[in-house]
Amino acid sequence: MVRFDFYRLHQLAYLQVRPNFYAGGGLHFDSHTDVHADNAEDQWPQSPYYQYSVANGLPLDTQISAGPSIEILWDSRDSFINPSHGWLARANYRALFDGFLGGDSSWEKVNLELRTYTPLSSDRRHKLAVWAYTDLVVDGVAPYFDLPSTASDSYGRSGRGYAEGHFRGEKLAFIEVEYRGPLMRNNLLGMVAFANTTTTSNRQGGEQLSDHFAPGVGAGLRVLLNKRSRTNLAFDVGFGEKGNRGVYLVVQEAF
């Protein structure tokens, strides 16, 4: 029901403290402009965006968030493109301020993330990947489109089986498990099978985190584009509850 223009600038810098361990910070700017109903003017006042924005005193045509962040990161993966082993752990704190670079509200967010990659065979051609993260608004009121939501991670890869923003709330938790294996001896073709689940909270609706879990499952094919970096062209099909589904064509793995 909603159309808008979205502009994002996220810039982070890290300092290596010790092997595999980094600390850093950055600046984040998100702007949703020209927000309007998409051929549903009569239903616009009943839309979640309209009701949330009015209830929290946010403007309806444009909403902006801007502020700094601090972050710590542990990364022992052998590749950030297609890891065969290792793990990543990340903690991010972001403070957004009313009036800073046009920001419309003051609020704070914490994001915690963990990824692990476990070989299932001695040649590491078969592996199990696990991705878990939680995104939490811990203080203040976030603009509607900046609330934690399905596929709101940096590259929009979470929640396969559901559309971007299908689930949205002040708090979100997500976990996914994916098997990755070859279909040819030279690794030119491969496949994946995955399962995930998402849960969100909703302050206005009285829904708490873990009140409901939305599962998703799917599978996909991989075509090797670069043998040295192990970069794949990925084609996935995902299915969620209540008839939700999605088709995904990307370069690089989902996580």
Report the C-alpha gap between 93 and 111 in whole angstroms. Answer: 7
Identify the CATH assignment for 2-251 out of 2.40.160.50, 3.40.50.10810, 3.40.50.300, 3.50.30.40.
Answer: 2.40.160.50
* pLDDT per position as a tens digit, 6-35: 999 999 999 999 999 999 999 999 999 999
Contact call for residues 239 and 161 (beta carbons, < 8 A): yes
State yes or no: pLDDT of 199 exceeds 80: yes
Residue 123, C-beta contacts closer than 8 angstroms, at least 6 positions apart: none
Provide the 10 A C-beta neighbour count for residue 38. Answer: 10
Prediction pTM value: 0.91
pLDDT category at 206 given cuts 50, 70, 90 is: confident
State yes or no: pLDDT of 237 exceeds 90: yes
pLDDT at 30: 97
